[in-house]
Amino acid sequence: MTTIAIIGTGRMARGLGTGWARAGHRIIFGSRVPDEKIDLIAAIPHARVTTRTDALNDAAIAVITLPYPEVAPFCRAHADVLRERLVIDISNPFDHLPDNRVAGAEITRDAIGSGARVVAAFKTTFAATLLEPLNTDGVQRDVLFAGDDEDDKRIVAGLIADLGFRPVDCGVLHNARILDGMVPLIIELDRRYGGTWQTSWKLLP
């Protein structure tokens, strides 16, 4: 069992938290307004909702599920504690980084500073599929991830597998800029091919 701080309480946070709680992990949600998010505790077994600072203090892993423009300021403000955590960045920059020369996750890493342990994951995974790791044909969906440290990536691959997905290692953190670019494309493909937010990237060997 791992204690996971999930920062934010939106669609991705709820899907990931529900899935990991079902897999036996301890979930602590960090919210700007924890008193207004009490419904999460009822919905997810053994979960806790608290302030963002408190959530980080008690966890080995921090999953940042904030809107992209909020991620770097949050990381700078909590850099001291985040340097001691494995940080999973799921945020999608869209037009905030239009040329894809640098990954949003690299900016997250730099905001935390020297010693940061950041893995980019779940960026290309729609929230609506988080509790549906198999599609309607029974095909296992992939979750793509990227990072610079092999040990950290092994941990993240395990967490992805705990949700029932196949983890697909996309290499170094710099490759996350490609994942950032795949997000507007999968939204376009989902719209064109009638996916209703159920579309996934699949690597076929």
Ligand X SMILES: NC(=O)c1ccc[n+]([C@@H]2O[C@H](COP(=O)([O-])OP(=O)(O)OC[C@H]3O[C@@H](n4cnc5c(N)ncnc54)[C@H](OP(=O)(O)O)[C@@H]3O)[C@@H](O)[C@H]2O)c1
Q: Which is nearer to ligand X, 65 or 148 (CB)?
A: 65
Q: Which is nearer to ligand X, 36 or 115 (CB)?
A: 36
Q: How remote is the C-alpha of 102 from its chain's centroid?
A: 18
CB atoms within 10 A of CB 87: 27
Q: Which of 1, 33, 42, 203 binds ligand X (CB under 6 A)?
A: 33
Which tokens belong to 74?
A: 């949050």
- Using CB under 6 A as the binding rule, whether residue 35 contacts ligand X is answered as no
Q: Which of 18, 19, 37, 56 binds ligand X (CB under 6 A)?
A: 37
Number of residues that bind ligand X (CB under 6 A): 23
- Using CB under 6 A as the binding rule, whether residue 145 contacts ligand X is answered as no
- Using CB under 6 A as the binding rule, whether residue 73 contacts ligand X is answered as no
For 109-141, letters b (16+ CB in 10 Å) and e give: bebbeeebbbbbbbbbbbbebbeebeeeeeeeb
Which tokens belong to 4?
A: 């996971």
**Residue in this structure with the two tokens 């490609």, named with its chain if needed:** 178
How far are the Cα atoms of 5, 74, 134, 149 from residue 86, in angstroms, in the given order?
Answer: 10, 15, 27, 10
Q: Which is nearer to ligand X, 115 or 196 (CB)?
A: 196
State in angstroms the smallest separation of the CB of 126 from ligand X. Answer: 4
What does the alpha-carbon distance between residue 3 and residue 25 come to, in Å, rounded to a whole number? 6
- Using CB under 6 A as the binding rule, whether residue 123 contacts ligand X is answered as yes
- Using CB under 6 A as the binding rule, whether residue 31 contacts ligand X is answered as yes
What does the alpha-carbon distance between residue 126 and residue 197 come to, in Å, rounded to a whole number? 6
Q: Which is nearer to ligand X, 16 or 86 (CB)?
A: 16
State in angstroms the smallest separation of the CB of 104 from ligand X. Answer: 8
Q: Which of 92, 108, 175, 199 binds ligand X (CB under 6 A)?
A: 92
Binding site for ligand X (CB under 6 A): 8-13, 31-33, 37, 65-68, 70, 90-92, 122-123, 125-127
